[in-house]
Structure 1
Amino acid sequence: MKKILITGGAGFVGSALAISLKTNYPSYEIYCLDNLRRKGSELNVARLGKAGINFIHGDIRSKEDFDALPIVDTVIEASAEPSVLAGINGGTPDYLINTNLFGTVNCLNYAVKCNAQFIFLSTSRVYPIKTIETLDFEEQDTRFVLTDNQKTRGVSSKGIAEDFPLDGVRSLYGTTKLASELIIQEYNEFYKLKTVINRCGVLTGPWQMGKVDQGVMVLWIAKHFFEQKLAYIGYGGEGKQTRDILHINDLYRLIDWQLHNFDKVNGEILNAGGGVDVSVSLQELTDICQKVTGKTIPINKVKENRPADIRLYITDNSKVTALTGWKPEIGVEQIVKDITDWITENRADLEPILK
């Protein structure tokens, strides 16, 4: 019987992975650690309990909170302050750094104590902003598109690969995740800790509490659902900025495979995103939201760019697909439908959070 600890376990990603694992492997003992800081995470505690998952109220910033935890076989590090704007738009970066960097160190030390496998959820935001912004692209009718005419290594029309250059500024959020990646590699080498790092693109799906700075898919759909205003911000205000997106159920399939084939991914760094086939611009997303919700809302145009924003990001999944056989299966329109259905079914609970 496997025992698994998921940090950030009441968050969107952590709770989704926990519930899927418990559903598919009822004999597994799953523990979810979370400080419940993010608005809406309290809703997931009841969901975890109903699924037979052990919830522990604790904080990865606190070494003492790990002392009472049981010995486990695997740690899935899904906790984070995920805002790209954290520490940039006023305030200090203390919480960000203490959670995303020092918190990860506490998780690693706990994993060493347990001799546990360590799955780390990193981010595509480790790739530097200015380098991405200088990539060759085409402006099409509804989106920006990467070309194969690139001077930078690790990028093509398929997207950005793991060997993309890492020199440069990437946001404080991206920097803390990259610093954690470097430390994880040291633990893999010198403590012989089995590790895998997944650089995730834009993750989304039901039970994500979307905000302006994190969870834009849910935010965009919710604004349509509740008939509120939105804005295309930056890059001329046309809504052509483009991202690939990954349904949480597709991410689960990858984590499930890694969990049960760990020796094949030990020490690896893997991109994991929607890729070209599951990508969308804001303009295209608006059309899909209108189709699925049946509602049209006013969208303002703001030409000026926001701090730390990028024109487009697409994940090149070539490495992870070759290594594991995994690739995304859930398309953009199905993602919008899933989230819309979730909001409809849970409107009373979600309206105060998402509206």
Structure 2
Amino acid sequence: MKLLITGGAGFVGSSLAISLKQNYPQYQIFALDNLKRRGSELSLARLKAAGIEFLHGDIRNKEDFDALPAVDTVIEASAEPSVLAGLDGTPDYLINTNLFGTVNCLNYALKHKANFIFLSTSRVYPIKTIETLNFEEADTRFMLTDDQPVPGVSSKGIAENFPLDGARSLYGTTKLASELLIQEYNEFYGLKTVINRCGVITGPWQMGKVDQGVMVLWIAKHYFEQKLAYIGYGGTGKQTRDMLHIADLYRLIDWELHHLDAVNGQILNAGGGQQSSASLQELTKICQEVTGKTIPITQVAENRAADIRLYITDNTNVTNLTGWKPELGIREIVTDIHDWLNENRAALEPILK
């Protein structure tokens, strides 16, 4: 099998590429990336050591696809992943990468009759609707209730039939627009596709920032003994997310790669779910226990743009279709990332500190 992974030097793309090559050494895997994100250059040696061919290119450029070899499957893992991207009034890079880049990927897949696995995001769900959901405030976190004003949500989390009307961030909009185009290519061009709406993905080799990769950011700030802040919702740190370890995402992509007919045309939520969720307050406690360090955390009551109080993925649909469910919990994720920081401190300190 020949595979092209876009965003192949990014956290998700490189992790998937290396895991696939380790498990299927006979596969030929190409990793395409423009190396724009800081830290992505660290992936090049890892990809080479794994036997993966790196291709320097940009999905925004149609010409870059002309030189690519034919493949059997495209895994579209490239993106400008920041929820705050474009909110400064310049959304061009975001839109050109996340929307028009996906169009170029689709046309390349169509040309070679390749299957298409797309990594979308839970951010396709509208902010205002999420913010009006019924919740309970516990001692350390916010929790969804079963009694809700809209379909597609319960105490288990948010499902695929959650209403899509309303604003969701420019980032979320580019991903939803890509989803719509993928469905058209599936229906009218016969392209075999699956869309995965991923929650917060995390794990080793993610270069965490304030606006994307918060799990690594939180652990790294503890590790390097720097400052953090609980921002928004009264500054209590009760805002809650589920976290999906990249190794758990890999298991799903591996299954889809080899059983695509079973999920062809599907849109599937994939996140950590209730079992792998934490509030910032709870995450802080685990970070303190794993790192042995306590750092100052300030409180900022005012909310940030495009933030949400609470998001948990309801994985019912994907589990019923594929049998997949995440296996790694929050403490295991924190421990794994902490071990990675220890092992690669010299390379990571200039980026994460």
TM-score in terms of structure 1 length: 0.99
Aligned counterparts of 1:114 and 1:290: Cα–Cα separation in 2:
50
Letter of the 2:55 counterpart: I
Taking the TM superposition and a 5 Å limit, the aligned residue runs for 1:32-51 are 32-51=31-50
Task: Give 3-state SS (helix, strand or coil) of 1:236's partner.
Answer: helix
Equivalent residue number for residue 312 of structure 1: 310
Task: Give 3-state SS (helix, strand or coil) of 1:203's partner.
Answer: strand
Aligned residue among 225, 234, 238 for 1:240: 238
Letter of the 1:114 counterpart: H
Letter of the 1:251 counterpart: L
1:209-257 superposed Cα distances (whole Å, 9 cap, x missing partner):
0000000000000000000000000000000000000000000000000
Letter of the 1:62 counterpart: N
1:83 aligns with 2:56: no
Equivalent residue number for residue 53 of structure 2: 54
Aligned counterparts of 1:60 and 1:205: Cα–Cα separation in 2:
25
Equivalent residue number for residue 303 of structure 1: 301
Q: 5+ unaligned residues in a row in structure 1: which ranges?
A: none
Aligned residue among 276, 279, 296 for 2:277: 279
Cα deviation for residue 151 of structure 1 reads: 1.6
Equivalent residue number for residue 117 of structure 1: 115
Cα deviation for residue 91 of structure 1 reads: 4.4
Equivalent residue number for residue 214 of structure 1: 212
Equivalent residue number for residue 27 of structure 1: 26
Task: Give 3-state SS (helix, strand or coil) of 2:47's partner.
Answer: helix
Aligned counterparts of 2:212 and 2:188: Cα–Cα separation in 1:
35
Letter of the 1:162 counterpart: E
Equivalent residue number for residue 194 of structure 2: 196
Aligned counterparts of 2:50 and 2:326: Cα–Cα separation in 1:
26
RMSD between aligned residues: 0.4
Task: Give 3-state SS (helix, strand or coil) of 1:181's partner.
Answer: helix
Aligned counterparts of 2:187 and 2:283: Cα–Cα separation in 1:
43
1:68 aligns with 2:67: yes
Taking the TM superposition and a 5 Å limit, the aligned residue runs for 1:78-157 are 78-88=77-87, 90-157=88-155
Q: When the two structures are aligned, how many residues end up with a matched partner?
A: 353
Letter of the 1:71 counterpart: A
Q: Which 4+ runs in 1 deviate beyond 3 A?
A: none
Aligned counterparts of 2:185 and 2:147: Cα–Cα separation in 1:
38
Equivalent residue number for residue 226 of structure 1: 224
Aligned counterparts of 2:216 and 2:299: Cα–Cα separation in 1:
20
Aligned counterparts of 1:129 and 1:351: Cα–Cα separation in 2:
34
Aligned counterparts of 2:270 and 2:193: Cα–Cα separation in 1:
16
1:69-90 superposed Cα distances (whole Å, 9 cap, x missing partner):
00000000000000000011x2
Letter of the 2:26 counterpart: S
1:16 aligns with 2:15: yes
Letter of the 2:193 counterpart: T
Aligned counterparts of 1:348 and 1:64: Cα–Cα separation in 2:
37
Letter of the 1:275 counterpart: G
Aligned counterparts of 2:60 and 2:337: Cα–Cα separation in 1:
32
TM-score in terms of structure 2 length: 1.00
1:172-207 superposed Cα distances (whole Å, 9 cap, x missing partner):
000000000000000001110000000000000000
Equivalent residue number for residue 352 of structure 1: 350
Letter of the 2:262 counterpart: K
Aligned counterparts of 1:135 and 1:92: Cα–Cα separation in 2:
31
1:34-66 superposed Cα distances (whole Å, 9 cap, x missing partner):
000000000001100000000000000000000
Task: Give 3-state SS (helix, strand or coil) of 1:33's partner.
Answer: strand
Aligned counterparts of 1:128 and 1:87: Cα–Cα separation in 2:
17
Task: Give 3-state SS (helix, strand or coil) of 2:196's partner.
Answer: strand
Q: 5+ unaligned residues in a row in structure 2: which ranges?
A: none
Taking the TM superposition and a 5 Å limit, the aligned residue runs for 1:241-256 are 241-256=239-254
Aligned counterparts of 1:320 and 1:134: Cα–Cα separation in 2:
26
Cα deviation for residue 345 of structure 1 reads: 0.3
Task: Give 3-state SS (helix, strand or coil) of 1:145's partner.
Answer: strand
1:343 aligns with 2:332: no
Letter of the 1:41 counterpart: S
Aligned residue among 174, 184, 208 for 1:186: 184
Aligned counterparts of 1:6 and 1:167: Cα–Cα separation in 2:
31
